[in-house]
Amino acid sequence: MTQLVLMVLSAQGMETALRIKAAYPGAAIYGLEGRVNGADQIYSNFGETLREHYRNGHAIAALCSAGITIRALAPILENKGAEPPVLAIADDGSAVVPLLGGTTGVNVLARQLSTILDVSPAITTSGELRFGTCLLNPPAEFHLKNPEDGKRFIADLLAGKTVRIDGPAPWLEEARLPVDENGAMHIRVTPFDVLPQKSELVFHPKVAVIGVAGNTSADDLKAALARAGIALASVVCLAISEEDSAKASFHLTAAELDLPLRILAAKENDATDIVSAFIKEPVSLSGNGNLAIAIAATPADVTLAGHRRGRLAVIGLGPGDPDFMIPAVKQELQRAEDILGYETYVRMAGTFRSDQIIHMTDNREEMQRARHAFELAASGRSVVMISSGDPGVFAMAAAVVEALHESDNPAWHGVDLQILPGVSAALAAASRSGAPLGHDFCILSLSDNLKPWDIIEKRIALAAEADFAMAFYNPISKPRPWQLPRAIEILRQHRGPETPIVLGRDIGRPAETLRVITLDDLTAEQVDMRTVILVGSSLTQSFDRTDGGKWVYTPRWYGTKPAH
């Protein structure tokens, strides 16, 4: 589905938008800066933001008057064929007015939104009212090839002409069209790539399945479709075996042709067998073991066998504050079907829908968690693995990539694996205090759970000797009481007592505290597991700020200060 954008200008509009979003979770709420709280995104210029969504083809519901919306879009209304659905909704939810996008489903959307808001949609398209269903907006398993002829076609029908229908068009049965075998107008439903004639609408039903195995390229596939005369819009999916799902070429081919990919768990690697899993009694079956095309009589005769390509996204939430979470991570959380993570982080990620499955895990056994995530994703699910901060910094991403490295399961290698970054604790704490990591720095974990303590000591000593600024993660815990005092001792052998130290605790969370002290004053008692310690280099400076705290920075130069 295309993304639905709710443009909100007022607090009342926000209430209505939230009612819509509760029933339509894919919607994204855009709120006017300074007027609206709790939106997914903030904008400052209504017209520009609206036009950008329009150009990107997003469905838009503006919670304001139709006039404001029309005036904002007027300068760019040229290409009727490409326009996305645009509606105006009264900010109190009392009226839903479809404005644009008759051929892209605005009336369908208007009905859905009206149902949510419990009002009647203000549908004004005469063809739509007269025929009871939108001829130009068939169900998803039919594609209108020539929407540009639609307006004229409906005008002719309204003027009294009759229409002949060829091919199964079940959605038109209740349309009260003026059907006549000898009609001057023509509706043709066919999987073949025919050229629409005058006074004709052509619909392609989704009835063809292409199976591929071996080394089949996008060009081979296009050539085979051309030979068979099949319209791409009639293809339900490109089907492959699980064995082949790790081959990037198939994913690229599917993406290039914009075809959904289906993966069959059975170990079939004969294309003809693959397509038979989708269509039991094809009206036509052509091809060979590498590439086969089967066609069913109607869309209802196609079984959607196998599963989609699964996705595993390893995401970083940032330190806590949702404003520090990158938009790609927010989108990933929306699309997730399964969410895996340590309870604290799952709670930090926000609220989930009832259809999203949450797998709370404990904080140990990372490899086991990683394998569980791959198993879910390899079955076609959209899985999100949550870390705080950045997933690649002492968190799950490394375990996930390692689990993949260790596996020779093609289904795991076929998963769409994405690692999405987040603001790591050191960077969040640094930004709160100025720029203590403004020059070369290194990040160290003081936990010796997964590495020997003598390596940690060696790294601290060498990093201190090399005069790096440092960030210490996992600085102390009950089972590891003596390690931090030892680390402080090593630091003191290399750095002066006045070296600035930043202690950032719960940064970006409600209990946030930030303290700037000196190395001389640093004791283990001031630190816990929720603290990140930033240690200055020999050049790191600190000075008073007006709010009583201190600024800290490490200059970009080294040695002698350059002349400005």
Q: How far is the CB of 560 from ligand SAH (least distance, A)?
A: 35
- Are residues 421 and 452 in contact, defined by beta-carbon separation less than 8 angstroms? no
Cα–Cα distances (Å) from 261 to 249, 251, 374, in that order, read 12, 7, 18
As measured in angstroms, the least distance from the Cβ of 241 to ligand SAH is 37
Nearer to ligand SAH, 15 or 448 (CB): 448
Return the closest-CA partner of residue 515 out of 546, 470, 550. 550
Please, which residue, 241 or 388, has the CB nearer to ligand SAH? 388
Find out whether 88 and 132 touch, Cβ atoms under 8 Å. no
Residue 511 CA to residue 509 CA, distance in Å, equals 6
Could you tell me the smallest distance in angstroms from the CB atom of residue 463 to ligand SAH? Answer: 17
Nearest distance from residue 543's CB to ligand SAH, in Å?
A: 23
Nearest-approach distance from CB 541 to ligand SAH, in angstroms = 23
Helical (H) or strand (E) element with 166: strand 163-166
Q: Which residue number, 133 or 387, has a Cβ lying nearer to ligand SAH?
A: 387
Identity of the residue, 213 or 395, whose beta carbon is nearer to ligand SAH in the bound complex: 395
- DSSP conformation letters of 1-18: -PPEEEEE-SHHHHHHHH
Shortest Å, Cβ 446 to ligand SAH: 9
Q: How buried is 561 (Cβ within 10 angstroms: 0-12 exposed, 13-18 middle, 19+ buried)?
A: exposed
Q: How far apart are CA 39 and CA 480, in angstroms?
A: 42
Task: Give the residue closest to ligand SAH by C-beta.
Answer: 389
Identify whether the C-beta of residue 377 lies closer than 8 Å to the C-beta of residue 369: no
Contact predicate 241/289, CB 8 Å: no
For ligand SAH, the closer CB: 392 or 414: 392
Tell me how far apart the alpha carbons of residues 89 and 32 are, in angstroms, rounded to a whole number.
16
Q: How near is the Cβ of 429 to ligand SAH at its closest, in Å?
A: 6
Contact 519, 528 (CB under 8 A): no
278 vs 468 by CB, closer to ligand SAH: 468
Question: Which residue, 246 or 435, is less far from ligand SAH as judged by CB?
Answer: 435
* Cα gap 262→246, rounded to integer Å: 13
Least Å distance, CB 345 to ligand SAH, is 9
Q: List residues near ligand SAH by CB under 6 A.
A: 319-320, 387-390, 393-395, 424-425, 429, 473-475, 504-509, 529-532
Alpha carbon distance 113, 374 (integer Å): 37
Identity at 429, one-letter amino acid code: A
Neighbouring CB atoms inside 10 A of 489's CB total 11
Q: Is 435 helix (H, G, I), strand (E, B) or coil?
A: strand
CB of 314 to ligand SAH, least distance (A): 11
Choose between 220 and 321: whose C-beta lies nearer to ligand SAH. Answer: 321
Task: Return the number of the residue (98 or 320) whose C-beta is nearest ligand SAH.
Answer: 320
